[in-house]
Amino acid sequence: MATTKLDLKGMSCPMPIMKMAAAVKKGTSGDVFEAVCDDAGFEPDVLAWCKETGNKLDNLTKSGKDITVVITKK
């Protein structure tokens, strides 16, 4: 399975979620995406996005302003 890294740092709403959705859309089921973002709104956005789209949030870690998420495509 391919793991795609996404650097979403420096972006503001709605770009991080848009970029992530676009990247995940291109992948196939089971692909893993690791995205890092420093927008404070990213965490609730990712949670809502995963819940709505059915993609699986495997991990969410925070370090300073950076929020890193690991997602598996549905």
Partner 1 sequence: MSADAVQEKIKELEERLAKVEGNRSNMTMVLFSGDFDKAMAAFIIANGALAMGKEVTIFVTFWGLDVLKKPTMTGAGKNVLEKMVTMMRPKGPSKLPTSKMNFAGIGPKLFHYMMGKKNVTSLQNLVDTAVEFGVRIVACQMSMDVMGIRKEDLMDGIEFGGVAAFLGSAFDSNTTLFI
Q: What residues line the site for partner 1 (CB under 8 A)?
A: 10-15, 17-18, 20-22, 48-49, 52-53
- Judged by CB, which is closer to partner 1: 52, or 63? 52
CA 13, CA 56: separation in Å to the nearest integer? Answer: 21
- Could you tell me the smallest distance in angstroms from the CB atom of residue 10 to partner 1? 5
CA 46, CA 55: separation in Å to the nearest integer? Answer: 10
Asked if 50 is an active-site residue, the reply is no
CA 31, CA 71: separation in Å to the nearest integer? Answer: 8
- Could you tell me the smallest distance in angstroms from the CB atom of residue 57 to partner 1? 14
3 state DSSP class of 37: strand
User: Among the options 1, 2, 13, 22, which is catalytic?
Assistant: 13
